[in-house]
Amino acid sequence: MRGNKFCFDLRYLLVVAALAFIYIQMRLFVTQSEYADRLAAAIEAENHCTSQTRLLIDKISQQQGRVVALEEQMKRQDQECRQLRALVQDLESKGIKKLIGNVQMPVAAVVVMACSRSDYLEKTIKSILKYQTSVASKYPLFISQDGSNPDVRKLALSYDQLTYMQHLDFEPVHTERPGELVAYYKIARHYKWALDQLFHKHNFSRVIILEDDMEIAADFFDYFEAGATLLDRDKSIMAISSWNDNGQRQFVQDPYALYRSDFFPGLGWMLSKSTWSELSPKWPKAYWDDWLRLKENHRGRQFIRPEVCRTYNFGEHGSSLGQFFKQYLEPIKLNDVQACYYLPCVFVAITPFFLSTQFFSFVQYVLYLEFCVKVDWKSMDLSYLLEDNYVKHFGDLVKKAKPIHGADAVLKAFNIDGDVRIQYRDQLDFEDIARQFGIFEEWKDGVPRAAYKGIVVFRFQTSRRVFLIAPDSLQQLGVEDT
């Protein structure tokens, strides 16, 4: 009985063990199936990743091929640019050599600043070439264009007698004050670029700056050659100008007269390389001409100007919108006939006609032969314009002038023979007197236009000079107020 029970328990245990074994095997099978599925998924993911990696590698290879191709293209373009630059430099060099010839030291380069007015520019070029051709070796001519106006470019390139330069500026302009004209900023950039090119790249010692709306006088180049000597000798002279702000026909007479001025005239002027090296690093963003008139920039240096202008500005339309043109620019006297001489005609007669009554009736008045010549600047002694000499020279002129006081200055000046001087109290008083005569009233940084030590001089009606003098002008000149 007990043995039977033991056998039953053993069978029961075997059944339980078998069931446990079957369960464990089933669990192992399920687990293995899961791992097999995961492994298959992992393998599939790995294969997909490998495929994507290969695809990415292919793309990278393609991009690398493109990068290499672009690098090679850039190298070719860079090489072409270098070749073009070398070609341009060679052409410019040939152009300069053609203009300069065998002369190593020209007096000055002449640059015409142009933009988009081809009709004005053509008139200016013709005026310059009329007198420059015979002295081209001394004054190589350049046209500097700001921008890409095709008519201006075509016109400039049509002349073999000049060298063309082009300033392309794509940088946006940000004006400092609302309502300002962008043109004044572009002009300042163009001037700096052009003068840097001529002084630093082409290594000229002096440059004469003209604009594309100017005509020049017959003695323009002789005048600047004489001025170059002054510029080299006297470091208190900042520039030589061919312009007189009060150069209207009614206010000028003597083509030989030159003056020093504390006010920068502009409109046809010559600058030295040493002065430009000082100005270039601090060149203004706009209004460069008014900037040059600031005392902090000209630092006590002065400008040489003529009584009779050697340039004429015909540009009624431009960036200044014709400001003051009718009143101040159009009436300017260009020095067309510098000096005329009238000599009695001498007749040598050996025929009966010259002894006849008819002949004496014909010459019952005196005949004169007129001939005109240019001012001979080369033979003139301009040492009176040097700083150490000019104060006394100008002071003597002012001292000899008769003082006028009170109202009706114009009427009083008209009724006095010889030079006169009129003292003004301040800027408002000066403007009132200047308005009566019709000269420029404008001041910049405390200096009237064309003034020297506060004195503005001009002719009135005849050869009579009128000196408008500041309260301290006589003291600056060392002249006693009698």
**3-state DSSP assignment of residue 106:** coil
* Burial (0-12, 13-18, 19+ Cβ within 10 Å), 341: exposed
Q: How far is CA 335 from CA 324, 370, 373, 380, in A?
A: 21, 18, 12, 17
Instruction: Say if strands 456-459 and 465-469 run parallel, antiparallel, or are unpaired.
Output: antiparallel
Q: What's the token pair of residue 247?
A: 């150069």
φ, ψ at 162 (rounded to 5°): -140, 165
φ, ψ at 410 (rounded to 5°): -65, -45
**3-state DSSP assignment of residue 145:** strand
Q: Over the range 445-463, which residues count as b (16 or more CB within 10 Å of their CB) and which as e? A: eebbbbbbbbbbbbbbeee
State the sign of the Cα–Cα–Cα–Cα dihedral 119, 124, 130, 133.
Answer: negative
Asked if residue 317 lies in contact with residue 126, where contact means CB atoms within 8 angstroms, the answer is no
Q: Which of 238, 195, 234, 218 is nearest to 108 (CA)?
A: 195
CA dihedral 315, 320, 323, 329 (to 10 degrees): -30
**3-state DSSP assignment of residue 89:** helix
**Is residue 146 among the annotated active site residues?**
no
Cβ-defined contacts of 125-130 (< 8 Å, 24+): 125/155, 125/159, 125/162, 127/214, 127/215, 127/216, 128/210, 128/216, 129/159, 129/161
Amino acid at 374: K
First vs last Cα of the chain: how many Å apart? 167
Interatomic CA distance for residues 11 and 20, integer angstroms: 14
Interatomic CA distance for residues 92 and 163, integer angstroms: 7
DSSP string, 340-408: EEEEE------SGGGGSHHHHHHTSS--EEEEEE---GGGS--GGGSHHHHHHHHHHHHHHSEEE-SS-
The total of other beta-carbon atoms located within 10 Å of residue 253's CB is 18
Residue with tokens 């095997």: 25
| Among 289, 388, 419, 432, the one annotated catalytic | 289
Interatomic CA distance for residues 155 and 125, integer angstroms: 10
* Burial (0-12, 13-18, 19+ Cβ within 10 Å), 5: exposed
Q: Catalytic site residues?
A: 289
